[in-house]
Amino acid sequence: MFGLIGHSSSFSEARLKARDLGFEDLADGELDIWCSAPPQLLETFEVTSNTGKTIQGTYIDSCFVPEMLSRFKTATRKVQNAMELAQKRGINITALGGFTSIIFENFNLAKFQQIRSTLLQWERFTTGNTHTAWVICRQVEQNAPLMGIDLAKARVAVVGATGDIGSAVCRWLSRRSGVADLLLVARQQQRLNDLRTELGGGEVLSLEEALPEADVVVWVASLPQTLTIDSASLRKPCLMIDGGYPKNLDGKVNSPHVNVLKGGIVEFARDIGWQMMEMAEMANPRRQLFACFAEAMLLEFEDWHTNFSWGRNNITLEAMEQIGAASIRHGFSVLGLEAASISPLPIAA
Amino acid sequence: MASSVLVPSVADGLPDFSSEAYKSAYSRINAIVIEGEQEAHDNYISLGSLIPTQVEELAQLARMELKHMKGFQACGKNLGVEADMAFAKTFFAPLHNNFKQALAANQVVTCLVIQALMIEAFAIAAYHIYIPVADPFARKITEGVVKDEYTHLNYGQEWLKANFEASRSEIEQANRINLPIIRRMLEQVANDAAELHMEKESLIEDFLIAYQEALMEIGFSPRDLARMSAAALVS
């Protein structure tokens, strides 16, 4: 059995979900009630691969909502308790979806292995970042040409370049995709310097400097709500891959020559019998899901019961290739631009 | 969303065990724990009268509770605190009365739900949260106690699981009536617990985790659990 640990993308969404499930009292409750709520095992479902293998999965709602991010202890407990529940249910491999992996990493939860009477076994969990990084890179490789962008000549900005997913994306784009220029955007100078050294290239720019320069922008960072993007200053055409969580680029970019693609999303070859993706606003909730969740499925399909994606800055090209091959083999495809949304190519000046 | 919220500040240190505020809160919390263990002892003996085939087993659980009680009495003495037993008796009264009524009506299931599920889960939550902020003497005692309490929770769970279909609606009713009482008890103790560096939020959450897990083992579905737990979360 594989597991998925997730959460609602906002407190109001959590309330809607509770009401949908028939929990009126909880739906009407204030945030502090949710702060006291234990993780809930919401659904168990089956998934059948193109190889014919069928596996079972469980979705655990951690009852975390992003409004809890400023409450360090609360956010910590939500993640730890969800992990404890997954382990106690004997789940072989569980993906930490949404903010849960970010909280785990940033709040250093690897230091706290003992949760009440359970000693967490890290091998039972994965952040899902390897598959997410691979998917984002494939989204770049497949969709840039559709917009007339030649990667061999293109400037590709990675916003959040030093993060776990960002650094993996940089590695792949520079060594596998043959991208001409990588523009590295991140907050911490030291990590950026280390990344440049590792890549043997790449240009460090601020976000404001990078945006007007980039033919492709890969967003793999948490964005401030206040961020505004001057669409007119962007290149024509420009492909944006929104790999951030939650996804909020759509409302910020308004230009016929800029296409925003939801990053880190895959589509499965057949329907999955679950309800949970309805809430995630997927266009096709029975088949579309976050790549991090899909990684848990792949690890279960393959019996690779290990923390395949763990820590920060550990994702290798080989691991990305390995998970990518499994992804294709079992029936996942990466989300692409809808044909109708691609504007005609601008005429060269 | 500012990046700074993702970088946590330093966690709380230990409380000052010798301060008047601490000792005042401790006099009530310690009393609650002592009274809880005493009543647990009495309750398991009473249950023996309802389940004659289990008399020996239940007597053993009762003996463990008495041992716990003595341990916690020592914790109070160690800090120079006199337990406020009158407060504790009042604190437990509503739950205790419901147990007595169920006992008189031969309602084994209700008695087990109150003692072996709810009170044990409450104790497990409280002790887990207490341990990291306890004085060294109390910490050792409590660590030993917690292990036993899991055994007791397990006892209730196994009996109810074996009799699930027959017990189901009585469990739901006992839950509906008594969970709000547990909720009120947690509210009542919140300020004193905070003085001991124990957070109300964690207490409720931990209680529900232990309680829900027991209910799940017994046979309730995940949907049932969320529904049944709402009574503890919503005032």
Residue B190 burial (C-beta neighbours within 10 Å; 0-12, 13-18, 19+): middle
Strand partners, A333: A267
Q: What is the pLDDT of residues B39-56, one digit of tens each?
A: 999 999 999 999 999 999
Using alpha carbons, select from B44, B85, B47 the residue that is nearest to residue B64.
Answer: B44
B3–A222 C-beta distance less than 8 A? yes
Give residue A345's pLDDT: 56
Distance from CA of A94 to the nearest CA of B (A): 18
Rounded mean pLDDT of A168-193?
95
Give residue A4's pLDDT: 96
Number of cross-chain residue pairs from A and B with Cβ atoms under 8 Å apart: 88
Question: In this predicted complex, what is the ipTM?
Answer: 0.86
Residue B138 has pLDDT above 60, yes or no: yes
Using alpha carbons, select from A102, A327, A38 the residue that is nearest to residue B210.
Answer: A38
Return residues 85-124 of A near B (CB < 8 Å).
85, 88, 102-103, 106-108, 116-117
Using alpha carbons, select from B133, B135, B112, B116 the residue that is nearest to residue B124.
Answer: B116
Residue B5 has pLDDT above 50, yes or no: no
Rounded mean pLDDT of A288-313?
96
| Site from A25, A91, A116 to mutate, B interface, most B CB atoms within 10 angstroms | A116
Q: Which residues does chain A have within 8 Å of residue B227's beta carbon, measured at their own beta carbons?
A: 22-23
Chain B within 8 Å of A273 (Cβ-Cβ)? no
Q: What is the pLDDT of residues B52-72, one digit of tens each?
A: 999 999 999 999 999 999 999
Residues 6+ apart with CB under 8 A from B165: none
Compute the distance between CA of residue A203 and CA of residue A210 in angstroms, rounded to an integer.
9
Q: Which residue of A has its CA nearest to B129?
A: A116
Cross-chain CB nearest to A38 (options B209, B223, B227): B209
Give residue A344's pLDDT: 58
Using alpha carbons, select from A319, A279, A297 the residue that is nearest to residue A15.
Answer: A279
Residue A289 has pLDDT above 90, yes or no: yes
User: What is the distance of C-alpha A219 from the center of its chain?
Assistant: 11
Chain B within 8 Å of A217 (Cβ-Cβ)? no
Cβ atoms of residues A56 and A46 within 8 Å: yes
Dihedral angle at the C-alpha atoms of B225, B231, B234, B235, nearest 10 degrees?
A: -170
A81–B205 C-beta distance less than 8 A? yes
Interior CA angle at B34 toward B29 and B36, to 5°? 90
Give residue A22's pLDDT: 80
Give residue A73's pLDDT: 94
Compute the distance between CA of residue B118 and CA of residue A111 in angstroms, rounded to an integer.
31
Q: What is the pLDDT of residues A234-249, one digit of tens each?
A: 999 999 999 987 776 7
Compute the distance between CA of residue A206 and CA of residue A187 in angstroms, rounded to an integer.
9
Cβ atoms of residues A40 and A257 within 8 Å: no
User: What are the distances in angstroms from CA B103 to CA B48, B109, B158?
Assistant: 11, 10, 20
B2–A224 C-beta distance less than 8 A? yes
Handedness of CA A21, A22, A27, A33 (dihedral sign): negative
Chain A within 8 Å of B1 (Cβ-Cβ)? yes
A25–B233 C-beta distance less than 8 A? yes
Cross-chain CB nearest to A40 (options B11, B222, B234): B222
pTM above 0.80, yes or no: yes
Q: Phi and psi of A268, rounded to 5°?
A: -90, 160
Dihedral angle at the C-alpha atoms of B198, B202, B203, B205, nearest 10 degrees?
A: 180
Give residue B12's pLDDT: 56
Chain A within 8 Å of B3 (Cβ-Cβ)? yes
Distance from CA of B216 to the nearest CA of A (A): 10
Distance from CA of A146 to the nearest CA of B (A): 33
Dihedral angle at the C-alpha atoms of A161, A167, A170, A172, nearest 10 degrees?
A: -160
Strand partners, A45: A57
B229–A77 C-beta distance less than 8 A? no
Token pair 């469990």: residue: B171
Provide the total of helices (H) and of strands (E) in chain A, helices listed first.
11, 16
Chain B within 8 Å of A276 (Cβ-Cβ)? no
Cross-chain CB nearest to A33 (options B5, B213, B234): B234
Using alpha carbons, select from A98, A126, A10, A3 the residue that is nearest to residue A59.
Answer: A3
- The proportion of chain A whose per-residue pLDDT surpasses 90, expressed as a percent, equals 78
Rounded mean pLDDT of B91-116?
97
Residue A227 has pLDDT above 60, yes or no: yes
Chain B within 8 Å of A25 (Cβ-Cβ)? yes
pLDDT band (50, 70, 90) for residue A211: very high
Higher confidence at residue A283 or residue A194?
A194
Chain A within 8 Å of B16 (Cβ-Cβ)? no
